[in-house]
Structure 1
């Protein structure tokens, strides 16, 4: 399992775009307003949010990003967001992100679970558990 703890300054060109963190059904959130809009949208649609707090310089973040994108395609009933901790430093601090990647699972804007580190099996397990528990009993 990989975790990045340092907050070294990214190279100038790395902050401009995040192609490794976008794709599938993943939305890159770069402002607090965008975060609020996406949470409102998720609540209105009854979707659980999976929020990936990552950094462009973080090796484990880069290594799990394609898998995260793959999961977003497999689970359209969830909303997948990626937040760059360097772009939203104060916001990330409010969420007490101490290492990257950190995944938060939110229902109606409230945290229901959390995963720290690039642990693919555990991420899959948590998403499967959330999807299974969120299905109305008549549809299982």
Structure 2
């Protein structure tokens, strides 16, 4: 499915575009400290984290953003994060992001799965697989 390979430096301030990318229960990560805080919070609550490394200029990222937002509302037992690769360039590089969007699935801060590209059926499938591993009481809305 679609993904953007080149990193493009966007013009101007795109903070208003983050609103459409970080809807629902998606939490926008703007600093390494907020990333660490959210991972610690997820570990304490026993939540699996889904981190979307994305860019506002990326067409496939824009396409999957509303779906990602909807998933965050449907699955409150998971923590959905959004990292803009242009705003946190060094941090994104440390995760070896080669294309956007890239989704990482983290449990206790450790990567358990990964998806590159805006593939809605595959993203849904990976989330379902993670939910199937959780105790039933955690999956209740």
**Structure-2-length-normalised TM-score:** 0.93
Q: Say whether the 8 Å CA contact 1:15–1:56 is kept in structure 2.
A: no
Q: Is 2:88 the counterpart of 1:88?
A: yes
Q: Secondary structure at the match of 1:87?
A: coil
Q: What residue number does 2:58 align with? A: 58
Q: Secondary structure at the match of 1:18?
A: helix
**Bigger Cα displacement from structure 2, 45-54 vs 20-29:** 20-29
| CA distance, structure 1, for counterparts of residue 21 and residue 135 of structure 2 | 28
| CA distance, structure 2, for counterparts of residue 84 and residue 15 of structure 1 | 10
The size of the alignment, in residue pairs, is 139
| CA distance, structure 1, for counterparts of residue 115 and residue 72 of structure 2 | 16
Report the Cα offset of residue 21 of structure 1: 1.0
| CA distance, structure 2, for counterparts of residue 78 and residue 19 of structure 1 | 20
**Structure-1-length-normalised TM-score:** 0.94
Report the Cα offset of residue 14 of structure 1: 2.1
Q: What residue number does 1:3 align with? A: 3
Q: What residue number does 2:116 align with? A: 116
| CA distance, structure 1, for counterparts of residue 52 and residue 101 of structure 2 | 6
Runs of 4+ in structure 1 deviating by more than 3 angstroms, as ranges, are none
Q: Is 2:106 the counterpart of 1:102?
A: no
